[in-house]
Amino acid sequence: MKPKIILPLTFCVATVLLFVSIYLLMDTQTLYAQDEPVTARENPPDGAAYEWVMYSDGFDNPVGLVAPPDDSGRLFVLEQGGLVWIIEPDGNVPLDPFLDISDKLPNAVFMGGYTEQGLLGLAFHPQYAENGLFFINYTDANGDSIISRWHVSDDPNLADTASEVQLLFVDQPFENHNGGGLAFGPDGYLYASFGDGGDQGDPFGHAQNPASLLGKILRLDVNNGETYTAPADNPFASDSAFAPEVWAMGLRNPWRFSFDRATGDLYIADVGEWQWEEVNFVPAGSAGGANFGWNLFESRLARVENVDIRQFTMPVVEYNHAADCSITGGYVYRGAALPDLQGVYLYGDYCSGRVWGAWRNTIGVWQHTELMNTGRQITSFGEDQAGEVYMVDYKGDILRLESAR
């Protein structure tokens, strides 16, 4: 159990609105064909074979869990209020946080009201064991988004508090839809997710605006100089109409995304508005440039007339708001403890606590099934260096997926 520092935070990934949808997905649903998968299966995994087991508790509004690539076995837990804690391999949590940026955050984070602001993302450099560099995504005191680089101190359990270098600033017009995800891709570049800037319906059209960083996945080279550069092979780097950082667009609030550690495929979970939650898929080796459709589409549902769906990349998985409200993206399971889950993408819902698995069959058709209903407020998933998967519950618990048999 972690030492308590009480912060009266309230978190909501998306406004909870129940809406009768025009069509319902079954518990096990055949979805959309893609290229032939590296990992394929015909039969759905058996949710009764697995359970979420308490791993650590006592955190205050945790929103993320990340393992550094240093063979230490440690897990780093992000709290929305600006603290990062370490869980040692033996389960111990040191008395002092690894990082505390609470003084940099908006007052709204600490006032107990509705907010999606705060410390939202963390990524360790692939060479962290050698260079000690890590990156965070947070909203500053004015509510705008910052990606910054930090360095670990001589103590491996403490960050160097004077080492911050702010790399990227993104103006946020509203408090919600900040995105916040960070991850290094297999190409060594830093990927970052930003929502459309908030309010309802993307009123300023950010997600479809090529010059805006909002409603996008960005791809950044953080290995050159003091800040970053846009890689020359970014899909729009030579197009003056686009921000060169843009790698994919047309997203509402891509709160969590992840790369499959075995294949390099990218999974982007995008929080919907009135009706649909979705998972978008980008195969490994893609040159980028996908447009996922928001705010012209919510999943496959057109929001405007006379728009050609063929211009857009549609989701491979979707579910409606009949009993859920806000998707939380997870990971493709690549651990050793649960062999029947190999290649299954795990994701959940913040409001219902349900967890699903998605996969492609041998002819490349996507399917998904509900695995369990946890009753948890799922803000994030995480994986350790061995590929085992963890769940982050906003109420303070960290749980690990294990066999129930």
The per-residue pLDDT for 114 is: 64
Element holding 131 (H helix, E strand): helix 128-131
| Structure letter (DSSP) for residue 130 | H
The per-residue pLDDT for 74 is: 99
The per-residue pLDDT for 86 is: 99
Residue range 161-205, pLDDT digits in tens: 999 999 999 999 999 999 999 999 999 999 999 999 999 999 999
Residue range 237-258, pLDDT digits in tens: 999 999 999 999 999 999 999 9
In this structure, the strands spanning 301-302 and 345-349 are unpaired
Tell me the C-alpha distance between 181 and 138, whole Å: 10
Q: What ranges do the domains of the chain cover?
A: 28-403
Tell me the C-alpha distance between 151 and 132, whole Å: 5
Instruction: Indicate whether this model's pTM tops 0.85.
Output: yes
Burial of 123-141, coded b for 16+ CB within 10 Å and e otherwise, reads bbbbebeeebbbbbbbbbe
Q: Which residues of the chain have pLDDT under 50?
A: 3-33, 36
The per-residue pLDDT for 375 is: 96
The per-residue pLDDT for 9 is: 40
Which of 391, 309, 337, 400 has its CA nearest to residue 53?
400
| List of E strands, 90-162 | 99-100, 119-124, 133-139, 145-151
Tell me the C-alpha distance between 29 and 322, whole Å: 16
Say which amino acid occupies 129: A
Decide: 316 and 18 in contact? Cβ < 8 Å.
no
Tell me the C-alpha distance between 345 and 353, whole Å: 16
Q: Which two tokens stand for residue 130?
A: 């050698």
Task: Reply yes or no on domain 28-403 having CATH 2.120.10.30.
Answer: yes
Q: Using alpha carbons, list the distances in angstroms from residue 366 to 254, 274, 363.
A: 20, 24, 9
DSSP string, 255-269: -EEEE-TTT--EEEE
Say which amino acid occupies 187: D
Exposed (0-12), middle (13-18) or buried (19+): which is 224, by Cβ within 10 Å?
exposed
